[in-house]
Amino acid sequence: MGEAREVMDRVTKALVAKDLETLSTLYAPQAVAVDPSVGEIQGRENIVEYFKGFREAFPDLKWEPSKQFESGNTAIDEGYVVGTNNGPIPLPSGENIPPTGKSLRLRECDILTVENGVATSHRVYYDQMEFLDQLGLTPGTPS
């Protein structure tokens, strides 16, 4: 197992455990994350704040891995984010979507690039419409 895989596994473990202190040590100060719902997130503090909001929205969050890869300084995880939306979902505008109480099992892919033992880039991919549908947040979705 290489450095990229070790850092990815530690990021996942810290995120699931709500260990934001450890999570912050795993990103470079100038790291960049990209999420389809918020776009580019610059800097370690902002990345940790983003994940904090997600963890508060899904307090029982779990990760179900299906595939794990590593190539050079990059680790890739494919799997499912599983949880219940029992907290507000923060929006980039600063507003929040109230909790829906609905369960989520969302296929996701994370790509983490590591340099000198810390993540410098974290790209997250998932279907935004699937996310909204599962939470009952799209028009025509049963509430």
H-assigned helices in the chain: 3-16, 20-25, 44-57, 128-134
Residue 25 inside a domain? The answer is yes
At residue 94, the pLDDT reads: 87
Q: Which residues of the chain have pLDDT under 50?
A: none
At residue 131, the pLDDT reads: 96
Fill in the amino acid letter for 98: P
Residue 76 inside a domain? The answer is yes
At residue 136, the pLDDT reads: 95
DSSP 21: H
For residues 112 and 121, is the Cβ–Cβ distance under 8 A? Answer: yes
Q: Taking the CA atoms of the chain, what radius of gyration do you get in angstroms? A: 15
Structural domain total, the chain? 1
- Structural tokens at position 58: 């899904």
Q: In the structure, how many helices (H) and strands (E) does the chain have?
A: 4, 8
Give pLDDT tens digits for 41-67.
Answer: 999 999 999 999 999 999 999 999 999
| Whole-angstrom distance, CA of residue 23 vs CA of residue 42 | 15
At residue 142, the pLDDT reads: 61
Residue 140 inside a domain? The answer is no
Residue 104 inside a domain? The answer is yes
User: What is the domain-level CATH number for residue 126?
Assistant: 3.10.450.50
The whole model's pTM is what? 0.93
